[in-house]
Amino acid sequence: MGVGPGDPELITVAAQRAIEAATVVAYPVAQPEAEGMAARIAEPWIAPGQRRLPLLFPMVVEAEPRRLAWHAAADALASEVAAGQRVVLLCEGDSSLYASCSYALLALAQRHPTCPVRVIPGISAAAAAAAAASSQGMVWPLALQQEALLIRPTPETPEQLEQLLDHAATTATVLALLKLGRRWPWVRACLEARGVLEQALFAQRVGWPDQLLAPAAAVAAGEQPYFSLLLVRQSWPEVLP
Ligand SMILES: C[S@@+](CC[C@H](N)C(=O)[O-])C[C@H]1O[C@@H](n2cnc3c(N)ncnc32)[C@H](O)[C@@H]1O
């Protein structure tokens, strides 16, 4: 279930009730002993008596360690359910959008197809970023009228980004580029060269006390944290208030 991108208040009533009703609270961690972002976000809603179950989802490039981790996570969840526990698996943002939770679900369906599952959606970082910007006077609709919205990871190279921006410009597509952090220096340069930096919104750690929402032009060219994203709008519909 999604717990939203940072602010514990951005959790759905359904998710809060599911946590309350759980005997086991599972959450992804990138390293053993790590706290886990989703668990930090949901902290106010987790009671001291609830058992915590960190599940290791290593952030590595190799396929095999990741597959093994997904299988192990699914096996651990299924065995808790089989033992009669009520289990929730927390997920940062929305539970179906670039989410560790999705791999656990796929592995569960494959390895434990009779295990009962309910998926509760959450507020995605892109939606929260648009709302937070609009709340700060930078009115930022994600999509209007016939526009498309493309939420995807930031491309790996300037050439790929150029192609993406060309495509987005000709198809009235607003871009939400995730996993921006270390790519920001060259992404910034690319947007500046094309004259679209002014129309982009930089969002970092949305929902956290130190959140930053800023016109992209105001953000220096250095590397940024992992929890950063960019919204890029290259045009507006003709008919507007
Ligand atoms: C693995 S994806 C998770 C997406 C998440 N499930 C969602 O629904 O938004 C991680 C990326 O989402 C973006 N992200 C997640 N939380 C964020 C936040 N609080 N502020 C800014 N960006 C965030 C960042 O671009 C980060 O690299």
Superfamily (CATH H level) for 8-111 = Tetrapyrrole methylase, N-terminal domain (3.40.1010.10)
Q: Is the CB of 78 under 6 A from ligand 1?
A: no
Substitution candidate for ligand 1 out of 229, 230, 231, 232 with most atoms within 8 A of CB: 229
CATH 3.40.50.11440 fits 125-232, yes or no: no
| Average pLDDT value over all residues in the chain | 97
For the stretch 186-205, pLDDT in tens is 999 999 999 999 989 999 99
Helix (H, G, I), strand (E, B) or coil at 163: helix
Phi, psi of 192 (to 5 degrees): -65, -45
Written as one letter, the residue type at 68 is L
Confidence check: pLDDT of 13 > 90: yes
Q: Ligand 1 atom 4: the closest Cα is on which residue?
A: 98
Q: Report the alpha-carbon distance of residue 42 to residue 27 in Å, rounded.
A: 10
Q: Report the alpha-carbon distance of residue 212 to residue 206 in Å, rounded.
A: 7
What pLDDT was estimated at residue 33?
85
Q: Is the CB of 130 under 6 A from ligand 1?
A: no
What pLDDT was estimated at residue 36?
93
For the stretch 141-159, pLDDT in tens is 999 999 999 999 999 999 9
Q: Where in the chain is the domain with CATH 3.30.950.10?
A: 125-232
Q: Is the CB of 184 under 6 A from ligand 1?
A: no
Residue 214, CA distances (Å) to 124, 139, 140 in order: 18, 12, 11
Show the CA angle centred on residue 119, arms to residues 18 and 129, nearest 5°: 90
Q: Is the CB of 179 under 6 A from ligand 1?
A: yes
Instruction: Please give the share of the chain, as a percent, with pLDDT higher than 90.
Output: 98
Reported as a pLDDT band with limits 50, 70 and 90, residue 53 is very high
For the stretch 59-69, pLDDT in tens is 999 999 999 99
For the stretch 85-109, pLDDT in tens is 999 999 999 999 999 999 999 999 9
Q: Where in the chain is the domain with CATH 3.40.1010.10?
A: 8-111
Q: Is the CB of 93 under 6 A from ligand 1?
A: yes
Phi, psi of 62 (to 5 degrees): -60, 145
